[in-house]
Structure 1
Amino acid sequence: MKRNKLMILLGAGMLLVSSCGKEFLQKLPQGELSEPQVGNKDGVEGALMGAYSIMNGNVSGTWGNYASAPSQWVFGEMASDNAHKGSELTDQTPMNMIENFTSISTNDNLSTQWQVYFEGVLRCNNTLKLLANDQSGPKEISAERAKEIQGEAKMLRAHYYFYLWRVFRNVPIITEEIATAEEAAKIPNDKDVLPLIEEDLKFAIENLPTTKINDEFGRMDKNAAKAYLGKLYLYQKKYAQALTLFKEVMAGKDLVSMPYWNNFDVTKENGPEAVVVSKHAINSNGAADNSNVGDMLSGLYGTSPVGCCGFYQPTIDLVNAFQVDANGLPLSPSAYRAKPYLSDLQNPTASYVLDVSLKFDPRLDHTVGRRGVSYLDYGIMPGNAWIRDAKYAGPFVGIKTMIPQSQFATNAAPGENYLTGLDVNVIRLADVWLMAAECEVEAGNLAGALKLVNDVRKRAATLAPKKTGTGANAAAYNVKPYPAFANQDAARTAVRTERRLELALEGHRFFDLVRWGVAKSVLESYSAFEGQYLPSYKGLVFGAKSEYWPIPQVEIDRSNGVLKPN
């Protein structure tokens, strides 16, 4: 994967300087520089910035990065019971195959994910090579800073490999020790990459500072590395090791007091809940390469202030999962499916009236846009006027990827309000809280799990109610703490439900279902329910190999058969 000429993206996208309050995501043109030219302090730091720039899932341009979005909405949400592809049946049809588990190896979403994140791995490796050259010569970079650069590059590499592993499982292990492209091409995908990810994260924990380098909020730090290693251990069911790390990340922090919506407010980013973040910005010249390009399709359609593109719609099942009982606790799937709320799906006429007596967790209307309810500063969501085909993908739209109209001038690309500077949290503190709760359940500490889950729910109870056009509350909002967990199974169900509600449409759901071992039962049951109202989603079959996707055929061909298909 190394050429005689290194392709280094200098000064590329990331990071926030706290003193000025805005990213220095000012991407310089991509140029071809020889190794001696970049083998100095500025070259190494520039190469590191190039490695960070892949965090937003974009190598160049703006269109076409959907499958590599840092939110992982295509694989993490659209493939789950949380979201539909949206738009129309005939639009972006390869995505349909991701959603219904019929994808073949030529699907362009697979090659996008593979190529973008291996580009990230390559840039991390190049950074480490250039740093090694500096340290073996005049040493323009101090030993202390050299360890930090190694920690940043290795943690980024761990992140990129983790994303590749979750989607493909079997990937070739390419490190900075691989000297040439010819050597890299001979590496098969028959080794487990998780030990390398673990090794990289442990190095990052040992060598990164506890505070952000230069106060730049997009940087990796010790806490971010601890959270990520804990997440890796959780996926491996190493609960005790994961819990130790999560407790260190949570120490001294009060989640309940942290405003929930700050996680999705472009004017209030960089708060204490942001642990691992993909930083985004619109450049000063209006260019959007460093923006949240992967989520651009989720912009609202039609007469909405955004105008494009109508993808990434919440499912009917997700919306109804926010239903609560008289005690403010979640209903079971069988209970909420017995009498589902469908908005105006069956009555899209002007006569539709929102039922404000329905009992919902208030996080619903901070996650989903539905007819008759206020939506950011756009006004009341009108229903089909903002949706491309409600009969195909349902009557709901997402909120978490959108910014207010009042921010279009400064945080959206000129004339393209679906390209924004809104950051994406790869790991946020509530995620850590609930991962720790999961570990406590598996350790049999139900009281510890109860406190953590209830912290998340207590914060949810502080959310301001969304309103109707008349100023009334849009639902009978109610969310209360659990009084107790009757047993380990009840606690496990509560934690898993809370992850769905709190982290809905943030890229976790499908991967959670897979690691819990319940993907087949949950998704086929969901399909039977959803298909009653949206026929395109009926009859889903989750097969023996549906937990991950095919190796892209183009990569198998390029490797001359060294890479083996899944």
Structure 2
Amino acid sequence: MKTKITLFLGLLFISVGCDDKFLEITPKAKYFADNFFASEDQVFQGLVAAYDPLQWSFVDGRWTSTVMLGEIWSDNANAGGDNTNFDQPGWQQIDDLTADPLVGEVLSFWKRGYFGINKANLVINKTELDTELTRQYIAEAKFLRAIYYFDLVRIYGPVPVILEELDPADKNVSRNTLSEVYGQIVKDLREAIPLLPLSYPDAFKGRITRGAAQALLGKAYLYWADLLNDDVQRFDSAAFFLNEVIASGEYELVDDYNQLYDFGAANTSESVFEIQFSNEVPGDFGTPFEFLNGNAMVQLCGIRGLCASHPLYAEGWGFMLPTQSLFDSYLADDQYRRNASIITLFELNLDNCPVSSNQQNPTDYTGMWQKKYANYKAYSTPNGGELNLLKDPNQPYIRYAEVLLMYAEALVRGSGADAEAMTYIDMVRERAAGPGDNTGNFRTASQLMGQEGLSLLEVIWYERRAELAGEGDRWFDLVRSGRAAANNFPSGDLRQANFSERSLYLPAPQVDVDFTEGKLTPYPDPSLFQ
């Protein structure tokens, strides 16, 4: 949240004695924050810097992936790793629901979020040039501030809302209420939407569009409504903005679900907002960690112990292992989505490529691996050496399928019509059955309700888990809807024994708790959830 730099000024003054020539310093930096944002090009450079933390997957020597977090924290995945059961101990603690304020990953997600917020604040607050382009750049920065806060509030609960630069000595930082955090997210996105374009030329894919802001706003309203005891008005607000995305005609479902995460898939017709990654990075691990903009989770979550001769996949490190619970949750007629999301040991055996079982985490190994961020051999690694683990698949943050499901949920939980909601659920279910026209070859939402004994909301919950498996939303869905509980996990799982109300959010990092002298509490007080 703050960058604290110790300059040892006292020692400097002692060493130079009384000679005041040391004060006559020619500044080496040409620009500072107060004079940098003076042209459209400079504002754009500041905006690029604000985008950058979205790509950080290795912060302060810790692997930092919101996808891994939302899956490993939940009943969808185990941490995995090597056969010592102590590989990446911070991720093991997140998996076991025992993470405390000293865990390195607790700090890395916090740092990523507040560094991004600070960079966005600079663009928003320092830009005085008023042109059509700078207004758009400020709108993009407001979206970025909103998305960083959205991730932070999902991970840590109500967090401090900081909209200005802080004095590095200011210790008066504390948590805001839930509604103050979500209120700021909503304000930023509402202000950004009118100034954002519907689309960009292909050369600018990944830039923030109006649809991306409307979709994130709808998602924020959905969470806010859920966490405020099913607030109908906010569900209706979510429905309004999600419908704007649908009505724009800018997005459509990819016909074949299996191709959403195929090698080379990026910025598809279904991508509403997608975090861009690149394997073109400098040097080696001596480079400051935040500059490593490759998507490290591909190597992290690849198949550990895989034979070198596999025709499609390279070996990985075996994290984020799908659970039996996730595998079993798919309905019998939903195998196409399951096969596109999970690699099984049986599938690898068909390729006559054995997996070394003695390399696996003995507690977490399930004989299954995630498929959406598969470690394809076809990935190029131009840097070589230590950085050959950095691959460049993008991270879809909001897909059009999720927009359809969120819209259906907002209708059902707000004042909308159930029949309309089923129409959008069925669009997702039809695609899930496989490529081509599946009319008559899939069970509709209505049929699932009758044949499986599910409520319409339970159908939506099923669809979200099946459709978004391995994409990082599972834990946050459980928490916002009040369904996170010990019995999400099987008997004997440490998560069942360790579950408590404190498990719902990561604690604030100890370094900032100490710096604020306890004004920032490790965990949010229940009174803040209003």
Shorter-chain-normalised TM-score: which range? 0.7 to 0.9
Question: Which residue of the partner structure matches residue 546 of structure 1?
Answer: 503
Instruction: Quickly say closer, same or farther: Cα 1:309–1:416, change in 2 above 3 A.
Output: farther
Work out the CA distance in 2 between the residues paired with 1:222 and 1:444: 24
Work out the CA distance in 1 between the residues paired with 2:507 and 2:427: 39
Determine whether 1:462 maps to 2:429: no
**TM alignment of 1:417-456, pairs within 5 A:** 418-442=389-413, 443=415, 445-456=417-428
Shift of 1:394: 1.6
Shift of 1:544: 2.4
**TM alignment of 1:127-526, pairs within 5 A:** 127-132=123-128, 135=129, 143-176=131-164, 178=165, 180-183=167-170, 185-191=171-177, 192-212=180-200, 215-237=203-225, 238-251=234-247, 252=249, 255-256=252-253, 258-283=255-280, 289-304=292-307, 305-324=313-332, 328=333, 361-373=335-347, 379=351, 382-384=354-356, 388-389=360-361, 392-408=364-380, 418-442=389-413, 443=415, 445-463=417-435, 480-484=443-447, 486=449, 490-520=455-485, 523-526=486-489
Shift of 1:390: 5.2
Retained in 2: the 8 A contact 1:51–1:153?
yes
Instruction: Quickly say closer, same or farther: Cα 1:505–1:32, change in 2 above 3 A.
Output: farther
Using the aligned pairs only, state the percent identity.
27
Secondary structure at 1:109 match in 2: helix
Question: Which residue of the partner structure matches residue 53 of structure 2?
Answer: 54
**Deviation per CA, 1:444-494, whole angstroms, max 9, x where unpaired?**
622222222221121111259xxxxxxxxxxxxx95434446589611111
Question: Which residue of the partner structure matches residue 116 of structure 1?
Answer: 112
**Deviation per CA, 1:391-429, whole angstroms, max 9, x where unpaired?**
53321111111253233367x966755421000011111
User: How many pairs were matched up?
Assistant: 468
After superposing the two structures, state which structure 1 stretch, 85-94 or 479-488, moved more: 479-488
After superposing the two structures, state which structure 1 stretch, 52-61 or 82-91, moved more: 52-61
Work out the CA distance in 2 between the residues paired with 1:525 and 1:220: 36
Instruction: Quickly say closer, same or farther: Cα 1:57–1:295, change in 2 above 3 A.
Output: farther
Which segments of 5 or more consecutive residues in structure 2 lack a partner in the other structure? Answer: 6-28, 226-233, 285-290, 308-312, 524-530
**What is the TM-score of this pair, normalised by structure 2?**
0.80
Work out the CA distance in 2 between the residues paired with 1:293 and 1:188: 32
**What is the TM-score of this pair, normalised by structure 1?**
0.75
Q: Name the one with the larger helix percent.
A: 2
Shift of 1:153: 0.5
Question: Which residue of the partner structure matches residue 352 of structure 1?
Answer: none
Secondary structure at 1:161 match in 2: helix
Retained in 2: the 8 A contact 1:85–1:99?
yes
Secondary structure at 1:545 match in 2: helix
Instruction: Quickly say closer, same or farther: Cα 1:540–1:131, change in 2 above 3 A.
Output: same
1:564 to 509, 521, 529: 521
Work out the CA distance in 2 between the residues paired with 1:371 and 1:159: 37
Question: Which residue of the partner structure matches residue 33 of structure 2?
Answer: 35
Retained in 1: the 8 A contact 2:449–2:459?
no
Work out the CA distance in 1 between the residues paired with 2:479 and 2:353: 34
Letter aligned with residue 240 of structure 1: D
Shift of 1:434: 0.9
